[in-house]
Structure 1
Amino acid sequence: MKNNMKEIEFSQANYEQWQESAVKALKGKPFESLITKTIEGITFEPIYTQDQLVEKLDGKLAEQVSTIRSLKTGEKCLAAQQTFADSPESLLHGVKEALAKGNDIINIDSRVDFAWDETTLKELAVLFTENSFKLNLQNNQDSLLQVFNYIEVDQQEAVTGFVSSTDEVALDGFPNVRTINANVLEAHYDGAHAVQELAVALLQAAQYMESEEDIEAFAKKFFVTFAVDTLFFVEIAKIRAFRVLWKAFTTAYGTDKNISVAIVSETSIRSFSKLDVYVNLLRAGNAAFSAILGGADVCTVHPHDVLSVPNDKSIRIARNVQLIVKEETHVAHINDPSGGAYFIESLTADLVKDAWALFNALQEAGGYDTVKANGQLDALLKETMDLRMKEVETRKKSLIGTNNYANPADVIDERNNPLYADYNRLAKPFEELCLNYAENQPKVALLTIGLLKQFKPRADFVSGFFATAGIIPEKSPEIQSIEEATAWLASTDAQFVIVCGQDDAVKEYVPALLLDKPAHISLDVAGRFKEEQDEWTKAGLNGFIFAGQNIIEKLTSLTANVKEVQR
């Protein structure tokens, strides 16, 4: 008899049953090993259920979802790819070409190598009346502001756009151009995590509101700018959380209306690297998808080579990343596509709770200008950035192609895009390390004890360790005796030698090697060997290479040791 699938019912497992099965699958590992904590201090559970979510939000799930969905300023995320140019002619050409190929918003940074002449400004003025724009200005005296002088009075009301500047910009007669920007980019590149970014955005908004009387009039001029990094779910929740926080913020200023808020986003380059630059495509694509799923109104995708010199091809690829995400996945046709997911809603609620608490604490400490001036905010962000760097340098966090799975044959493009040269990035120490090793050309070799299968795990680990500095270590033959090892060590011209093998063999060989080690060689061992480390170090061993070690500190110290020996 055939089974009718429509009539089959599956029993529904509860959380306890799932947990019991999970514990069995862990084969002795504790269930707590499935629980992780983010840099924000938020706990990630291995599974999220409807009951858990309802309990956490205490009956306010529907309110959270409806708030997020009702506070968007538009129906879809608009592409705002930046135009890079070295002349007025190339800028205008780039703007027009981008618009013709899918760009929704003209995006210009005024820090260019040419003067803004009248002809260029007039042509831009025409384009601004036909298209929305996003301008990044240096101050309220920026020459690019003159473009608004060439827009006819009867056209001004129809002009829409976003203007970001370090100073307050007043554009009389342009009611639909937003000029009050809570710009969180500086905090982001100083290391801020999602909770801190959200709190900083609210602090800046509160600072602006001190000179405003009407929250609704203020909201029409206001927008927030977020950088979106590669923590996929956290970044989705961050953008959603800001709308919930914005509702609380506007309520605190005396209105119960649902006032929409414009969220402008750009893919973060904090995780970008000049090593294996095409991996930046994956980082940017991941971040763009987060921004769109989270409900950003505007998104800029940085080209994979933005740190050096973007070209037409890389700019086109960056633009197409967003177009593909929006059109091929159809997320552009859905309002709040991630809404209702137990994990996302729970994470959104966590970010809202923690960010609101931090905002209030910093507001009570004097507000944005005060905590910025007295160093309180900078100290908070530095602590987070230091933690980020430690995670990267010890490989707790992977930067593929940089601190993990690095290609030692990579050549760093030493050209710098001045717009982003000063940004704090996690990959910078590794890039500097590669340049340092390329300049000094140290020779590294592995002394491999036993058969391939015996030394390969540690030899591969050490090779990957040095690959992060652009070094390909040489390998000795399969050494079978202490005599062979001593002879090989005496004959090699390598400056760094790392002993690789199984524990018992290494313990047998190292004391003998240290007795006859040539003076010009810095000898290290792959592995921890805690019991032997003091004895070996006293006998002349330089140190150890092991998992969890700070790569930057270790490889920097090796070059210093060799220079000392060479003196």
Structure 2
Amino acid sequence: DKAYQTPDELSERLARNQQLLLKEESHFDKVVDPAAGSYYIENLTVSIAKQAWDIFLKVEDVGGFYAAIKSGSIQKDINESGKAHRKAVAQRREILLGTNQYPNFIEKAGDKKPVTSCPCCSQEREKDVETLNFNRMASEFEALRLETEASGKRPKAFMLTIGNLVMRQARAQFSCNFLGCAGYEVIDNLGFDTVEAGVEAALAAKADIVVLCSSDDEYAEYAVPAFKALNGRAVFIVAGAPACTEDLQANGITNFINVRSNVLDTLKEYNAQLLK
């Protein structure tokens, strides 16, 4: 909880207990060196050392660390690296457990507010240099959940599961995790025999979002009838990237979520639409 408040006695005790569990139950203090002589580890170490040396020489070429700071080259390199990292987090190519993957659906911030990060230089010091981006990688996802919570309206996302059992369950789980990252209430289902029954159940649940979860092959059969039956009464999403995507788009279906989606940008769009 350090990002939201000064750690208290409970949080410090939990942090100590984690170390004790690793020591006493996982025996992390009783190991040999399993990486000794490993080509992968040795090669990776040499690669990191070489890149670090190249950066050092680059800094020296411009006159040293202070000159590099004044020119902004160090800040530029760090910020560009951070930008790439944040994009990977937004697309879930890098996982922040509990933030962009497997969120806690019932968690609430309450009165807690994120601690604002700021540059280490005080206001009395010179400001004629470019600063670094100090935002944590999780901050934008947290802002989504805080926006949802502050709105007082928690959108409901209904999983309309139909067709192939394995694929509908997999797509529902994926969609629940996807939409849960914004703090939405997700309603999963065991499955429906017909599209009409699924849409009727979604409307009865007063869903703001209906996610069609099925197999790629079956979307050609189910998607358009479900979209028309819903008739604009909720945001309609297809979970996946089926081969018939162009045909579905031609029928007015525009929302698709899949492993290639930018989770952060997609959820920002849904928040803008649903939290008006």
Give the residue type in structure 1 aligned to 2:85: R
Residues 190-205 of structure 1: pairs in structure 2 closer than 5 A: none
Distance 2:81 2:202 in 1: 44
Distance 2:187 2:114 in 1: 36
* Alignment root-mean-square deviation, CA: 3.2
Residues 198-237 of structure 1: pairs in structure 2 closer than 5 A: none
Kindly, what percent of the aligned residue pairs are identical?
27
Counterpart contact for 1:445–1:498, Cα < 8 Å:
yes
Distance 2:161 2:17 in 1: 48
Q: Deviations over 1:156-212 (max 9, x none)?
A: xxxxxxxxxxxxxxxxxxxxxxxxxxxxxxxxxxxxxxxxxxxxxxxxxxxxxxxxx
Distance 1:562 1:549, change over 3 A: same
Counterpart contact for 1:522–1:541, Cα < 8 Å:
no
Deviation at 1:522, TM superposition (A): 1.1
Give the residue type in structure 2 aligned to 1:536: L
Distance 1:346 1:486, change over 3 A: closer
State yes or no: 1:427 paired with 2:138. yes
Distance 1:363 1:545, change over 3 A: same
Counterpart contact for 1:523–1:543, Cα < 8 Å:
yes
State yes or no: 1:495 paired with 2:208. yes
Higher Rg: 1
Deviation at 1:499, TM superposition (A): 0.6
For 1:552, which of 251, 264, 271 is the aligned residue?
Answer: 264
Deviation at 1:492, TM superposition (A): 5.2
State yes or no: 1:561 paired with 2:257. no
Q: Secondary structure at the match of 1:456?
A: helix
Counterpart contact for 1:309–1:415, Cα < 8 Å:
no
State yes or no: 1:437 paired with 2:148. yes
Give the residue type in structure 2 aligned to 1:542: T
Deviation at 1:512, TM superposition (A): 2.3
Which residue does the alignment assign to 1:150?
Answer: none
Counterpart contact for 1:434–1:469, Cα < 8 Å:
yes
Structure 2 unpaired stretches of 5+? 119-133
Q: Deviations over 1:444-491 (max 9, x none)?
A: 111121364452111111112122223332246732234435545665
Deviation at 1:364, TM superposition (A): 0.7
Residues 368-517 of structure 1: pairs in structure 2 closer than 5 A: 368-412=65-109, 414-416=111-113, 421-422=117-118, 423-438=134-149, 439=151, 440-450=153-163, 452-453=165-166, 455-475=168-188, 478-485=191-198, 487-488=200-201, 493-517=206-230
How high is the TM-score relative to the length of structure 2? 0.77
Deviation at 1:508, TM superposition (A): 1.0
Distance 1:359 1:375 in 2: 15
Deviation at 1:560, TM superposition (A): 1.9
Distance 2:97 2:79 in 1: 24
Q: Deviations over 1:369-417 (max 9, x none)?
A: 2322232222211221111112222221222222222221122365357
Distance 2:114 2:204 in 1: 46
Deviation at 1:321, TM superposition (A): 6.0
Structure 1 unpaired stretches of 5+? 1-304
Counterpart contact for 2:158–2:202, Cα < 8 Å:
no
Distance 1:492 1:322 in 2: 44
Counterpart contact for 2:155–2:185, Cα < 8 Å:
no
For 1:542, which of 243, 254, 267 is the aligned residue?
Answer: 254
Distance 2:112 2:170 in 1: 37
Name which structure has the greater RCO, CA cutoff 8 Å, separation 6+: 2
Give the residue type in structure 1 aligned to 2:43: S
Counterpart contact for 1:444–1:497, Cα < 8 Å:
yes
Counterpart contact for 1:497–1:523, Cα < 8 Å:
yes
Which residue does the alignment assign to 1:355?
Answer: 52
Which residue does the alignment assign to 1:230?
Answer: none
Query: Which has the higher mean CA deviation after the structures are superposed, 516-525 or 311-320?
Result: 311-320
Q: Deviations over 1:534-562 (max 9, x none)?
A: 44334332310111321111111112233
Which residue does the alignment assign to 2:127?
Answer: none
Give the residue type in structure 1 aligned to 2:79: K
Which residue does the alignment assign to 1:524?
Answer: 237
Counterpart contact for 1:430–1:552, Cα < 8 Å:
yes
How high is the TM-score relative to the length of structure 1? 0.40
Distance 1:369 1:546, change over 3 A: same
Distance 1:489 1:560 in 2: 22
Give the residue type in structure 2 aligned to 1:533: T
